């Protein structure tokens, strides 16, 4: 090979190396780029009032600075979003979600796992586009979906997973058929158990095993069904399922991991037994009485409940069926549970518990807006942001996203919505996220930006 040929090869190699280095530097610069929300009024997740005109600087995945709108910034390597006086607020949090079961029918949820995960991933992207940047998943095999979202493979909200809900034989969450009985102790798992939807546990020792399995897979909290439910075929509402010893076994196993247990419970007996066992959050509670609500207040127990009504957002069930009768019984307690929550100032979280309906999921924000029947718009928005974030923090060292969520504060995660209007004055804005959420940011990444002036300087 001639000397000139060698020199030419070396020159090309050097040029390629310089080009790759320059490209790497550009990528690093883009990764370190900041986002400036300019001239916005802030609903911070805690206050009843909006801030004055402000600038909010996001760097990487955190809110770095909040300063008056008159403050000037060096906007080199900064995405500038001119809010033009619009409202910047925290991303919404749904504290009772089932990421793997939103769109599927009950039968399909037991089917092809690969297909079901793809459906759930598509729904997760839609959930984020509705402005819900975080969900607490309370039953279903969502560990893989969570990992895919966290790794950036698909778009979706932060997920606080419970893994399989834990039930007793015939309890809420036991979707086996009578033909599956009798259960062989120590035998083969049912299909619902194989896919991780729910697990049957009929003794304190079995409960410990199933709780520890969920924690081993990455559960941030654990869910047991302490009473009957609407959707399960062999689960009357009045039935109390787990014994106190079984519930206590779950609580001890979870507390050994630094986290907590929630229970699905409607009736006073199921709720009070849960509290006696050390459960820290009650899901639903629609059939509770005054004495039970007072006990929850005295013990500092969380109530995570839903505005269930017999309206367009009710899960469609066959008329005259036992499930429909149970649904109407739960709905009859909706006003009562919220009245008791207000009377005793219970720590109250918001969640939707939407199952088996893409159409209902599209009304996730509308479900939140219904809370103005009992609360002011500001109280509703606080519940779905900073208050729900306080509940998530109960996961302690099992918290998959340690840091400040649900607030617009310096140092908080940059999960933000730019709203075309003031949701404190008009809560119905959140019912139409496609039109009214102009910017959706999660973890500092812009997933939607309809503001024409946004650009990279």
Report pLDDT digits (tens) over 102-134. Answer: 988 777 777 888 999 999 999 999 999 999 999
The pLDDT value recorded for residue 22 is 36
Q: Which residues of the chain have pLDDT under 70?
A: 1-32, 452-457
The C-alpha atoms of residue 288 and residue 109 are separated, in whole angstroms, by 31
Note whether 192 and 279 are same-domain residues.
yes
The pLDDT value recorded for residue 72 is 79
Token duo for residue 143: 């560990």
Task: Identify the CA nearest to 198 among candidates 169, 177, 228, 227.
Answer: 169
pLDDT in tens, 285-336: 999 999 999 999 999 999 999 999 989 888 888 888 888 999 999 999 999 9
Q: Length of the chain, please?
A: 457
Note whether 294 and 332 are same-domain residues.
yes
DSSP structure string for 84-146: TT-EEEEPEEEEEE-TTSSSS-TTGGGS-HHHHHHHHHHHHHHHHHTTEEEEEE-SS--HHHH
Note whether 290 and 312 are same-domain residues.
yes
* 167 three-class SS: strand
Tally the domains of the chain.
Answer: 2
Assign residue 74 the CATH number of its domain: 2.30.40.10
Assign residue 340 the CATH number of its domain: 3.20.20.140
The C-alpha atoms of residue 132 and residue 388 are separated, in whole angstroms, by 12
Half-sphere exposure of 198 (CA within 13 A, CB side): 25
Task: Identify the CA nearest to 137 among candidates 160, 118, 121.
Answer: 160
227 CB contacts (<8 Å, ≥6 apart)?
A: 172, 237, 238, 239, 240, 241, 263, 264, 265, 266, 267, 269, 270
Q: How many CB atoms lie within 10 A of CB 449?
A: 16
The pLDDT value recorded for residue 313 is 85
The C-alpha atoms of residue 211 and residue 215 are separated, in whole angstroms, by 6
Per-residue DSSP letter, 407: S
Q: Is 357 exposed, middle or buried (0-12, 13-18, 19+ CB in 10 A)?
A: middle
Note whether 288 and 419 are same-domain residues.
no
The C-alpha atoms of residue 163 and residue 165 are separated, in whole angstroms, by 6
Mark out the alpha helices in 315-432 (DSSP H runs). 322-332, 334-343, 358-361, 364-369, 377-382, 388-392
Residue 392 falls inside a structural domain: no
Note whether 123 and 179 are same-domain residues.
yes
**Domain that residue 339 falls in:** 92-374
Indicate the residue among 348, 374, 400 that finishes a domain: 374
Q: How many CB atoms lie within 10 A of CB 195?
A: 19
Note whether 203 and 312 are same-domain residues.
yes
| Inter-residue contact 89 to 48 (CB < 8 Å) | no
The pLDDT value recorded for residue 452 is 63
Task: Identify the CA nearest to 39 among candidates 1, 85, 88, 103.
Answer: 85
Give every strand in the sheet of 261-265, ordered side by side. 198-200, 165-167, 222-225, 261-265, 281-284, 302-305, 347-350
Note whether 99 and 243 are same-domain residues.
yes
Note whether 211 and 304 are same-domain residues.
yes
* 385 three-class SS: helix
Note whether 309 and 449 are same-domain residues.
no
Question: Which residues sit opposite 347 in a β-bridge?
Answer: 302
| Inter-residue contact 237 to 229 (CB < 8 Å) | yes
Task: Identify the CA nearest to 160 among candidates 149, 152, 171.
Answer: 149
């Amino acid at each position: 090979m001639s000397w000139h040929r060698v020199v030419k090869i070396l020159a090309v190699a050097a040029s390629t190396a310089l080009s790759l280095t320059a490209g790497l530097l550009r990528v690093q610069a883009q990764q370190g780029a900041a986002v400036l929300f300019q001239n916005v009024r802030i609903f911070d997740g805690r206050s009843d009032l909006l801030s004055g005109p402000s600038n909010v600087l996001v760097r990487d995945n955190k809110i770095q600075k909040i300063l008056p709108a008159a403050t000037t910034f060096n906007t080199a390597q900064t995405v500038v979003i001119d809010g033009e006086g619009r409202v910047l607020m925290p991303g919404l949090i749904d504290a009772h979600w089932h990421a793997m079961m939103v769109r599927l029918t009950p039968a399909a949820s037991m089917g092809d796992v690969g297909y079901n995960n793809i459906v759930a991933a598509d729904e997760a992207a839609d959930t984020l586009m509705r402005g819900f940047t975080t969900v607490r998943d309370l039953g279903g095999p969502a560990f893989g979906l969570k990992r895919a979202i966290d790794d950036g493979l698909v778009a979706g909200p932060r997920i606080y997973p419970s893994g399989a809900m834990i039930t007793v034989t015939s309890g809420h969450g036991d979707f086996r058929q009578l033909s599956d009985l009798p259960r062989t102790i120590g035998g083969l798992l049912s299909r619902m158990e194989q896919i991780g939807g729910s697990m049957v546990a009929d003794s304190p020792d079995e409960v410990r095993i199933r709780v520890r399995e969920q924690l081993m897979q990455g559960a941030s909290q654990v869910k047991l069904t302490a009473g009957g439910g609407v959707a399960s075929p062999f689960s009357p509402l009045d039935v109390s399922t787990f014994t106190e010893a079984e519930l206590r076994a779950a609580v001890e196993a979870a507390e050994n991991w630094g986290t907590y247990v929630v229970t699905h419970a409607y009736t006073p007996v199921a709720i009070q037994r849960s509290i006696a066992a050390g459960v820290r959050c009650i899901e639903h509670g629609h059939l509770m009485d005054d004495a039970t609500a007072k006990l929850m207040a005295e013990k500092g127990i969380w109530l995570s409940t839903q505005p269930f009504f017999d309206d367009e957002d009710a899960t469609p069930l066959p008329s005259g069926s036992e499930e429909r009768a149970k649904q109407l019984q739960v709905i009859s307690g909706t006003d009562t549970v919220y009245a008791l929550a207000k009377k005793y100032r219970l720590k109250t979280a918001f969640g939707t518990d939407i199952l088996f309906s893409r159409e209902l999921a599209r009304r996730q924000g509308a479900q939140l807006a219904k809370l103005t029947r009992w609360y002011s718009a500001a109280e509703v928005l606080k519940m779905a942001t900073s208050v729900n974030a306080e509940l998530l923090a109960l996961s302690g060292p099992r918290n998959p996203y340690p840091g400040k969520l649900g607030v617009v504060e310096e140092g908080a995660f940059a999960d933000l919505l730019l709203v075309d209007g003031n949701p404190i004055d008009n809560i119905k804005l959140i019912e139409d996220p496609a039109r009214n959420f102009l910017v959706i940011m999660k973890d500092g990444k812009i997933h939607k930006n309809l503001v024409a002036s946004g650009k990279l300087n």
